Amino acid sequence: MLSEPVIEIRHPLMQHKLTLMRSKETTTDNFRRLLREISQMLAYEVTRDLPLENIQIETPVATIDAPAISGKKLCVISILRAGNGILDGMLDLLPNARVGHIGLYRDPETLEPVEYYFKVPEDIADRLVIVVDPMLATGNSAAAAISRLKLRGAVSIKFVCLLAAPEGIKVMQAAHPDVSILTASIDQCLNEHGYIVPGLGDAGDRLFGTK
């Protein structure tokens, strides 16, 4: 099976805001605001190919057939905890989307994901699923989350992140070649601790001010 594409969004506004996020001088409140703003742009890009159907409406001056999104509402799945930073921004543009959460943490010794929470809509098989997490580092957590979603019946899945490492992309494409990846930046590599280089540090800690 051919792998779905990896799409790197190089919009100037997004790249500017990402540069501000990377700086270690950026405060928690500004980091949070910038992540929300970039997430709105990512939501715009990941929904670019949503199907449309014409519905009849009345404007103040005429009756017309106008395009509207067809089918069931989207489902956005946040990989806890940092995924909620992207989720909040996406819901600004997609307020009717259904929401699910998958709780995973990375074992500091093995770097493998350990699941502690899973709650998604019952009819997830009928929806386009957008999985969000700021960092695609080793790729293990994202791959594990998508595997769980597929076990629950999810068929149409996209993955959205702020930063991706080549190592994480390789793991994701090997495990889930049918899932497209959309990111604001493909960075250089992972360091010996599994952090993205140059990256921006631990997204969860910077988002919630826990370090």
CATH number at residue 142: 3.40.50.2020
Q: Does residue 66 form part of some domain?
A: no
The residues assigned a catalytic role are 106, 110, 202, 205
The residues near 193 (Cβ < 8 Å, ≥ 6 apart) are none
Confidence class for position 1, pLDDT limits 50, 70, 90: low
Whether 29 is in a domain gets the answer yes
Question: Mean per-residue pLDDT for 157-178?
Answer: 96
State the maximum Cα–Cα separation within the chain, in Å, rounded to a whole number.
66
Q: How many domains does the chain have?
A: 1
Examine residue 116 and state whether it is found in any structural domain, yes or no: yes
Domain-located, residue 204: yes
Q: Angle at Cα 17 formed by Cα 35 and Cα 98, nearest 5°? A: 30
Residues making up the annotated binding site for 5-phospho-alpha-D-ribose 1-diphosphate are: 81, 106, 133-141, 202
**Looking at the domain assignment, is residue 152 inside a domain?**
yes
Residue 110 lies in a domain: yes
Residues comprising the binding site? 81, 106, 133-141, 196, 201-203
Percent of the chain with pLDDT over 90: 79
Q: Which of 55-69, 105-119, 140-154, 191-205 has the lowest mean pLDDT?
A: 105-119
Provide the domain limits for residue 131. 6-48+74-208
What are the distances in angstroms from CA 7 to CA 1, 46, 169, 194?
18, 10, 11, 22
Per-residue confidence band for 92, with pLDDT thresholds at 50, 70 and 90: very high
Tokens of 8: 């790197």
Does residue 131 sit within a domain? yes
In a domain, 53, yes or no: no
36: left (phi over 0), alpha (psi -120 to 50) or beta: alpha
**pLDDT category, 81, cuts 50, 70, 90?**
confident
